[in-house]
Amino acid sequence: MNTKVLLVTPSAIRMMAIPIIKTAIMMTKFYDRLFADLNKDLNAVMLEEHENIRRLERSVSLCLKYLQKLKDFWKAHDPGTPTEDINFFKQVKPRFKAQLIFYQSLLNIESRKPLGNGTAVAKFYTGEIRVLKHFFESNLSFYQYVRIQACHLDEYYFLRGTYDIHLDPDQCMIDFDPAFSTSHDHKLALVIAHELLQHHLEEAIQKAGQRESLVHAGHEFQDFDWKQTKCALIELIYSWHATEAFGKRSLKSIAKFIERSFNISLGNFYDTYDWLCGRPCPTLYIDEMKTAFLMRVQKKLK
């Protein structure tokens, strides 16, 4: 009886691996593009919506929409390999989920915030930071694992179907979609979100202190927060820079001065400038100001 021996050569192995590699690259590109689109849309909301609670509500809705897109894509292209599982549930999904948790938590905090902008608000934010620190202390071993970028427990933390009671898995996992969850991807998203939230609150406390100093300096300086959109203010900043209204000051230094003066955070104003250049009317607010000023002049001349 003739027995044929099938030899698998190194070149054949490489040929079999090519489709897998191409799929992984395609999926990575999709994740990166989707996350970039999410941040672009979140930035647009920050620019267009100047009412804080409404802005946060719209941001939460956006995060939910993009997380659903991520889930639909993953289920349609699930490679089903341990390596891809770990990569997705450690590096990809938590980034999206963290944005949702961050904005939802911030919405909850801002809706409970006391009135005013000084000591009372700073005290309230400090209490919220204590809650965050308690979370980090309660999950210290996992937090350290994430911070040092360890990987020796990844197969227990970020593989679907794994639930080790000795590694403090998320208690809510029983309610999760088993095809889209591991025992610790939600906890990693919480870690990322809480770091973002703590940074935001620390900046808010600093601004509240600056605000209190202005109030003590004189009653006439109260309630001078910027009430228009951030986009409108960035139009002005670039115009002031172009006309050297502050001399040879850099864009960054002008933006920092305006942020401190008007109790506002402008974020990445360079990206905003690119967005302004691409819209049909780059000088929307400046044109509105000109129209309002001319109407005032005409009233005076009548």
For the ranges 56-60, 110-114, 211-215, 265-269, which has the lowest average pLDDT?
211-215
**pLDDT of the residue at 224:** 65
For the ranges 14-18, 106-110, 252-256, which has the lowest average pLDDT?
14-18
Asked if pLDDT for residue 217 goes beyond 70, the answer is: no
For the ranges 124-128, 138-142, 206-210, which has the lowest average pLDDT?
206-210
**pLDDT of the residue at 8:** 54
Asked if pLDDT for residue 1 goes beyond 70, the answer is: no
> In the block, which residue shows the tokens 């960035």?
234
**pLDDT of the residue at 257:** 86
**pLDDT of the residue at 48:** 75
The answer to whether the beta carbons of residues 128 and 109 sit under 8 Å apart is yes
CB neighbour list of residue 197: distance below 8 Å, 6 or more residues apart: 102, 105, 106, 128, 132
**pLDDT of the residue at 79:** 77
When pLDDT is cut at 50, 70 and 90, the band that residue 88 belongs to is very high
Neighbours of 238 (CB within 10 A): 21
Mean pLDDT, the chain, whole residue set:
83
Which of 171, 92, 181 is CA-nearest to residue 139? 171
Is residue 175 classed exposed, middle or buried when 0-12, 13-18 and 19+ CB atoms within 10 A define those classes?
exposed
State how far the Cα of 212 lies from the Cα of 234, in Å rounded to an integer: 25
Percent of the chain with pLDDT over 90: 33
For the ranges 98-102, 220-224, 286-290, which has the lowest average pLDDT?
220-224
Asked if pLDDT for residue 299 goes beyond 50, the answer is: yes
When pLDDT is cut at 50, 70 and 90, the band that residue 223 belongs to is low
CB neighbour list of residue 145: distance below 8 Å, 6 or more residues apart: 153, 157
State how far the Cα of 165 lies from the Cα of 162, in Å rounded to an integer: 10
**pLDDT of the residue at 210:** 63
pLDDT for 229-245, tens place per residue? 888 889 999 999 999 89
How large is the average pLDDT for residues 94-107?
Answer: 94
Calculate the dihedral angle through the C-alpha atoms of 175, 181, 184, 185, rounding to the nearest 10 degrees. -120
pLDDT top residue among 20 and 169: 169
Percent of the chain with pLDDT over 70: 84
Asked if pLDDT for residue 16 goes beyond 50, the answer is: no
